[in-house]
């Protein structure tokens, strides 16, 4: 069977015109499709026509999207053969509300538009149709282990309602494995209002990245016609002033750019009244109260407002959005490490598979450049920070530029130490600061052991003999790197005399100070961040008093933590010398341009460990030796 989606959409819209519902504004009425609902279904059907089958819907409250989706679920299962469907509710109570609502709506349908539901087969667990199709009712639960979402047979249609409130991300991930990815008429809709950086955010970002199979759909408050005050009404007279605040102007510009839509004065009047009734025209730029933050998340104007969270953002989105736009244009090389039995067997290769990249390099080392590295080991101050992360920044007297980022949860502590040694040696004129909590002390100990083994010669004595010129050069480069490692020394700012310690041990107080220093440099445009993933983690940071933590299901802040460590290392150790010699961004950039390729010649041999040629030559010699040792081989 081949489906004509244009005809299917037309038939569905005709079906909706015969449905009656109980409206909160008008009581029992014949269902009327608002602009928001029409836009939503236009997007869904356009996606189906283009072979997209997974839709992630971020929406404002009270747009009727969930109700329309339920009707779509019923129609889809009744009209298409071999559909095995599921509707996932966040709570049992919402499931029962749905069953009551649709039992009444279905019974009110005229005979010409009745759904083919098998008599007596609409129960608490499922709905069965005369064509053999079934819709199962599933509960996700708002707490871990509460729901029954994992106990389902395979599905080729699923509507996941209020995704942000699901309390068990692991169960949801397992549940998605039951979805068919080959059924030609499969359809999966995950819809929800925003609630910080939870499941909706993860699904949304996946849909933004996967434009072949998935489609993100944003349904804003301004798509509902009743969300406005008519001119001449008392509320319009009070809140419908002409001038836009800075925040409103930024939102209007973004909406115009993304959706070619102009928000009217009548709609702004509704928005101002409901977001902050105390707002005045002359004080409209100061809409920053808690009520306004909650309202903005529940009635987002642009997609990024879906994920604002209910707390106070550590860094405002007005600074992160332009940084993300700039970072999206930054090109990088991606590398993967191959860790051997000892440090000299470690290799690094360039990869085209970005998702497998452990190291991203936006700028390779430049002779004469000054660098700092911040290293945050897994499970430092946070139990959810399971990544080993290193941020490499190039230093100027007036700016810091992110030039490389390593991030991976799968390496061991000693392996991360070897990665750190490589990065310190490769970037040469470099100082590193490491977070000593968690596994950080083990990483630092391994780095010290490697340095000590190089100095007393035991590292060389432990290596097997070799006659390979490339292998000898490789070993020499590692010895060079170990000799170049420079550490960060922490000195209490309120201490007159001694009190010098190695590296950094994060506490509640020191984390707040360090993160504020990093955010200050970022807001003042003295810190250029090239990593989109780092900016995403910065966006999820929330401030509660002096507590700064990541919000959402994953609660990752490894990248911002490593970045803040690097900034602190710069401010305490490198900045004064750069200021003294006037090593500004403008001056150093001009010097690099004048030097050209010759500036890299002094460190060119360091990047030899990044080349596959040595490994290929070694493989060739191995097969040549085998051929000489056994002449019977004819390969």
Tens-digit pLDDT profile for residues 175-205: 888 899 899 999 999 999 887 777 888 899 8
User: Which residues are paired to 462 by β-bridges?
Assistant: none
pLDDT band at 568 (very low <50, low <70, confident <90, very high): very high
Q: Per CATH, which fold does 5-219 belong to?
A: Rossmann fold (3.40.50)
Q: Region 5-12: what's the mean pLDDT?
A: 92
For tokens 């029992």, what's the residue? 28
- Per-residue pLDDT at 265 exceeds 50: yes
Contact by Cβ (8 Å): 275, 295 = yes
Query: 500-502 and 400-408: which strand pairing?
Result: unpaired
User: Which residues are paired to 588 by β-bridges?
Assistant: none
Distance of alpha carbon 121 from alpha carbon 125, whole angstroms:
10
User: In terms of pLDDT, which residue wins out, 616 or 129?
Assistant: 129
Q: Which of 358, 314, 319 is nearest to 337 (CA)?
A: 358
Sign of CA dihedral 240, 241, 243, 246: negative
What is the per-residue pLDDT for 393?
Answer: 94
What is the per-residue pLDDT for 422?
Answer: 86
User: Which residues are paired to 191 by β-bridges?
Assistant: 57, 161
- Per-residue pLDDT at 617 exceeds 70: no
**Residues in Cβ contact with 490 at an 8 Å cutoff, skipping those fewer than 6 apart:** 500, 501, 502, 503, 504, 572
Distance of alpha carbon 488 from alpha carbon 433, whole angstroms:
5
Q: Which of 73, 95, 96 is nearest to 86 (CA)?
A: 73
Q: Is 242 exposed, middle or buried (0-12, 13-18, 19+ CB in 10 A)?
A: exposed
What is the per-residue pLDDT for 47?
Answer: 94
**Residues in Cβ contact with 139 at an 8 Å cutoff, skipping those fewer than 6 apart:** 88, 89, 90, 91, 92, 95, 146, 147, 148, 149
Distance of alpha carbon 425 from alpha carbon 481, whole angstroms:
4
Distance of alpha carbon 449 from alpha carbon 64, whole angstroms:
64
Q: Which helix (H) or strand (E) holds 577?
A: helix 575-580
Contact by Cβ (8 Å): 18, 29 = no
Q: Which of 575, 571, 430 is nearest to 514 (CA)?
A: 571
Question: What b/e string do you get for 250-268 counting C-beta neighbours within 10 Å, with b at 16 or more?
Answer: bbbebbeeeeeeebeebbb
What is the per-residue pLDDT for 624?
Answer: 58
Task: Print the SS3 string covering 3-23.
Answer: CCHHHHHHHHHHHHCCCEEEE
For tokens 């095995």, what's the residue? 84
Distance of alpha carbon 135 from alpha carbon 73, whole angstroms:
8
pLDDT tens-digit readout, 472-502: 555 556 566 666 678 888 877 777 666 778 8
Give the start-to-end residue ranges of the domains of the chain.
Answer: 5-219, 234-310, 327-617
pLDDT band at 10 (very low <50, low <70, confident <90, very high): very high
**Residues in Cβ contact with 374 at an 8 Å cutoff, skipping those fewer than 6 apart:** 390, 391, 393, 432, 433, 561, 562, 563, 564, 565, 566, 567, 568, 569
What is the per-residue pLDDT for 263?
Answer: 92
C-alpha distance from residue 323 to each of 38, 170, 246, 307, 538 (Å): 34, 32, 18, 17, 11
Q: List the structure tokens of 544.
A: 């509660």
User: In terms of pLDDT, which residue wins out, 504 or 269?
Assistant: 269
- Per-residue pLDDT at 605 exceeds 50: no
Q: List the structure tokens of 255.
A: 């909406």
- DSSP class of 574: I
| DSSP state string for 520-556 | HHHHTT-EE---HHHHHHHHTEEEETTEEEE-SSS--
User: In terms of pLDDT, which residue wins out, 477 or 116?
Assistant: 116
| DSSP state string for 94-115 | HHHHHHHHHHHHHHTS-GGG--
Q: Region 398-411: what's the mean pLDDT?
A: 92
User: In terms of pLDDT, which residue wins out, 398 or 126?
Assistant: 398
Contact by Cβ (8 Å): 224, 63 = yes
What is the per-residue pLDDT for 556?
Answer: 79
Mapped onto helix, strand or coil, the DSSP state of residue 629 is helix
Task: Print the SS3 string covering 468-497.
Answer: CHHHHHHHHHHHHHHHHCEECEEECCCCCC
- Per-residue pLDDT at 138 exceeds 60: yes
CATH number of the structural domain 327-617: 3.30.420.240
Query: How many degrees, rounded to 5, is the angle at CA 181 between CA 175 and CA 184?
Result: 130
Distance of alpha carbon 95 from alpha carbon 202, whole angstroms:
24
Distance of alpha carbon 248 from alpha carbon 255, whole angstroms:
10
Distance of alpha carbon 398 from alpha carbon 527, whole angstroms:
9
Q: List the structure tokens of 632.
A: 């019977």
Q: Which of 186, 66, 85 is nearest to 138 (CA)?
A: 85
- Per-residue pLDDT at 633 exceeds 50: no
User: In terms of pLDDT, which residue wins out, 415 or 22?
Assistant: 415
Task: Print the SS3 string covering 266-326.
Answer: HHHHHHHHHHCCCCCHHHHHHCCCHHHHHHHHHCCCCHHHHHCCCCEECCCHHHHHHHHHH
Mapped onto helix, strand or coil, the DSSP state of residue 339 is coil
Share of the chain above pLDDT 70, in %: 80
Q: Region 84-107: what's the mean pLDDT?
A: 82
- Per-residue pLDDT at 598 exceeds 50: no
What is the per-residue pLDDT for 402?
Answer: 95
Q: Which helix (H) or strand (E) holds 192?
A: strand 187-192
- Per-residue pLDDT at 563 exceeds 90: yes
Share of the chain above pLDDT 90, in %: 24
Distance of alpha carbon 407 from alpha carbon 115, whole angstroms:
52
pLDDT tens-digit readout, 349-375: 888 777 778 899 999 998 888 999 999
Query: How many degrees, rounded to 5, is the angle at CA 594 between CA 593 and CA 595?
Result: 95
Q: What is the CA radius of gyration of the chain?
A: 30
Q: List the structure tokens of 495.
A: 């201490």
Q: Which helix (H) or strand (E) holds 46?
A: helix 35-49
> In terms of residues, how long is the chain?
635
């Amino acid at each position: 069977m081949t489906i004509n989606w244009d005809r299917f959409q037309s038939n569905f819209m005709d079906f909706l015109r015969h449905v009656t519902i109980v409206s909160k504004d008008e009581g029992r009425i014949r269902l009327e499709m608002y602009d928001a609902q029409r836009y939503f279904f236009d997007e869904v059907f356009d996606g189906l026509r283009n072979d997209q089958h997974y839709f992630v819907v971020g929406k404002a409250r009270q747009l009727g999207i969930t109700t329309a989706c339920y009707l779509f679920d019923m129609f889809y299962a009744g009209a298409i053969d071999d559909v095995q469907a599921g509707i996932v509710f966040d709570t049992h109570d919402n499931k029962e509300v749905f069953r009551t609502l649709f039992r009444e709506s279905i019974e009110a349908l005229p005979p010409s538009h009745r759904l083919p539901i098998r008599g007596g087969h609409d129960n608490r667990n499922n709905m069965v149709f005369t064509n053999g199709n079934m819709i199962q009712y599933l509960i996700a639960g708002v707490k871990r282990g509460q729901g029954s979402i994992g106990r389902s047979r395979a599905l080729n249609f699923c509507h996941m309602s209020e995704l942000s409130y699901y309390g068990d991300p692991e169960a949801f991930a397992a549940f998605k494995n039951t979805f068919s990815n080959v059924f030609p008429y499969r359809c999966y809709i995950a819809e929800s209002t925003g609630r910080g950086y939870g499941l909706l955010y993860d699904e949304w970002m996946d849909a933004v990245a996967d434009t072949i199979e998935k489609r993100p759909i944003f349904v804003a408050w301004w798509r509902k016609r009743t969300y406005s005050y008519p001119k001449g009404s008392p509320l319009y007279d009070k809140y419908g002033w002409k001038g836009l605040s800075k925040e409103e102007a930024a939102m209007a510009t973004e909406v115009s750019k993304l959706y070619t839509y102009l928000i009217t004065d009548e709609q702004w009047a509704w928005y101002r009244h409901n977001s902050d009734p105390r707002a005045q025209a002359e004080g409209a730029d100061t809409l920053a109260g808690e009520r306004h933050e909650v309202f903005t998340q529940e009635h987002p104007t642009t997609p990024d407002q879906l994920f604002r969270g209910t707390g106070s953002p550590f860094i405002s989105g007005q600074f992160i959005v332009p940084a993300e736009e700039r970072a999206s244009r930054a090109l990088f090389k991606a590398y993967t490490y191959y860790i051997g039995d000892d440090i000299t067997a470690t290799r690094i290769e360039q990869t085209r598979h970005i998702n497998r990249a452990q190291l991203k390099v936006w700028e390779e080392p430049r002779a004469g450049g000054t660098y700092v590295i911040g290293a945050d080991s897994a499970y430092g101050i946070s139990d959810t920070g399971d990544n080993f992360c290193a941020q490499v920044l190039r230093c100027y007297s007036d700016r810091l530029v992110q030039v490389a980022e390593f991030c991976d949860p799968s390496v061991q502590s000693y392996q991360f130490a070897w990665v750190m040694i490589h990065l310190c040696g490769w970037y040469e004129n470099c100082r590193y600061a490491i977070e000593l909590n968690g596994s950080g002390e083990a990483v630092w100990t391994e780095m010290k052991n490697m340095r000590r083994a190089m100095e007393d010669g035991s590292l060389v004595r432990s290596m097997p003999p070799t006659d390979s010129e490339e292998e000898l050069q490789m070993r020499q480069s590692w010895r060079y790197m170990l000799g170049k490692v420079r550490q960060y020394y922490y000195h209490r700012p309120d201490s007159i005399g001694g009190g010098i310690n190695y590296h950094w041990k994060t506490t509640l107080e020191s984390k707040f100070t360090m993160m504020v220093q990093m955010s200050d440099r970022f807001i003042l445009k003295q810190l250029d961040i090239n990593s989109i993933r780092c900016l995403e983690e910065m966006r999820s940071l929330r401030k509660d008093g002096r507590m700064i933590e990541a919000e959402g299901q994953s609660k990752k802040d490894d990248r911002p933590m490593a970045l803040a460590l690097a900034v602190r290392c710069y401010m305490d150790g490198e900045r004064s010398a750069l200021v003294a010699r006037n090593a500004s961004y403008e001056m150093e950039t001009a010097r690099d341009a004048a030097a050209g390729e010759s500036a890299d010649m002094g460190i060119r041999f360091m990047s030899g460990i990044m080349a596959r040629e040595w490994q290929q030559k070694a493989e060739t010699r191995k097969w040549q030796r085998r051929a000489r040792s056994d002449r019977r081989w004819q390969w």
